[in-house]
Structure 1
Amino acid sequence: YVVNRQELLDFFSENPDVLMHVTKDIASKLSELTEKLTATEKPKASEKIVYMLSILAKRFGDGGDADDKTQITVPLTQQDIANLLGLTRETVATELKKLKDKGYVYYDKWQFVVYTEKILELM
């Protein structure tokens, strides 16, 4: 569907609340793309995963608790993380196990918990 440029500009001038909503949505999408690009630019798979988990915890976290744990509140699989970062699921599984063994994250099926202070040390 194609919209005439002038008609769109006229519509936005008559409906500034819609323009504000569209602008916020575009800014949000741009921020998400910038964060994803930053994650994929990291040289090591572990750095990519740490960066992405910290972003997901910030965006979809439950706010943390006294133990400095933040649960990511959206279902997330190793394959989802791999797809976001352009990695294989096997690489993600290997790196997540290392992070789990060192106490930086906890995961079980679709649930991920990030130990926020510890993960920030790696960034």
Structure 2
Amino acid sequence: MRDAEKDMQVCEAATDGPWHTQTDGRYSLAIVSIPEQEVICFTDSFGAGVHDGRLIAEARTALPYWIRRADAAEAEVVRLKKSLHFLMTAVKAGYRAGYIDGDGFGDELMEEIKKITV
């Protein structure tokens, strides 16, 4: 299992991005920072090396982006679960008190609530 906080620390400790690839000689591909043009590393400029280089360069900005998106999504799930728990409690109380019943709707609603794990 990955640790997003540690992964983010690795990203923040690296040379600032974005990075890109540029040909460096006949058989070499450099991954460099923008705009400083600081060379991060080299890979082959043919075969899988081209794709490896692009992955390394793109990951510099993509990984922090997706970590932040995942963190925000997880926070939203927590918020929605709290709201759902509140609503479930209110519906159960209304059902028990007889306020929710019309034409079996309350029974159907309670069956659906039983399926929810919060």
- The question of a shared fold, defined as TM-score above 0.5 by the shorter chain, is answered with no
Query: Which structure has the higher relative contact order (CA within 8 Å, separation 6+)?
Result: 1
Give TM-score, length-normalised by structure 1: 0.32
Larger Rg: 2
